[in-house]
Amino acid sequence: MIYTITLNPAIDKTVLIDKFRVGEVNRILDSRIDAGGKGVNVSRVINQLGGKSMALGVLGENGAATIQNTLNMSGIDHYFVPVTGDVRVNLKIIDGQNQTNTDINEAGFPVSEETLAEVIYQVQSRIRYNDIVVLTGSLPPDVDPSLYRQWTKSFQENGARVFLDADREPFQLGIKSAPFLIKPNRFELEQFCRTPLPSLDQIIAVGKKLLDQGIRIILVSLGSDGALILAEDQIIRVEGISIQPKSTVGAGDAMLASFAFSLEQHQNYLEAARLASAVSTAKVLCPGSNPPDPAIIRQLLATRVVVYDYSNRTSS
């Protein structure tokens, strides 16, 4: 079973504005509202792939219906601890003419220790050996940045495999508990080691040091350049697919979701990498926070996905 945890969910409002201009009046051409938060996104993609997951976390009472209704309509099991407050709103500005995506994200509201204790209890009471627990997204304001480290240690002691997707201090502290899988992008990895990583060899060198700390899989998303997967003695290179994106919201979440789904289905890392490439590409071809279209995923798998076993320089 796959469990996703979202401690700082959001309502994503995506607006389309041609020639977006800072400091001036801009006219919205189109807009949409979606359930958001990285764990919620992961659960929605897993569901779209035909898999099962349960979404857990914390949810403010004002705005909760948007997220709960989306999950209910998709048949996704969920349990969110209700708290007083507003679900934060993240504004996504898409400028089709200038080909830019701008995110303006609210911070959310503080969450009490009692609420966090209830969330971890709900997860601990459900997980079984070899289940996957996805810890992803920002932490609420004033929450101890070492929370993901503490929870990773706790869940893995109970036999679960923890997938961590965070940035800055929660990521830096979280990897000290050696999650089963981590998913930094290139920028987050550069933040972690405090140096630019312009080449694949430099990324691989950093990744190998992290593997030596007990992490089993490192999934590095490279945007339009594809991705790198490092696992034990295997290095996998996923080539980027040239497309005109409609929205980059949730592309990394889609990649993480597909990898979790693949491992839950006992696929090997090359198969998981191929699916991750197709799913994350299909995601940016759909508007807002919508999960990707399965038909587009199948088309990409059949015609455009290129994956290499980079350690042996062979293609798949």
Tell me the one-letter amino acid at 22: V
Residue (of 70, 74, 40) closest to 56 by Cα position: 40
Q: How buried is 31 (Cβ within 10 angstroms: 0-12 exposed, 13-18 middle, 19+ buried)?
A: middle
Helix, coil or strand: residue 41: helix
Residues known to be catalytic = 253
Q: Are 66 and 87 in contact (CB under 8 A)?
A: yes
Q: What angle is formed at CA 50 by the lines to CA 216 and CA 234, rounded to 5 degrees?
A: 25
Residue (of 150, 229, 141, 143) closest to 184 by Cα position: 229
Residue (of 184, 185, 12) closest to 106 by Cα position: 12
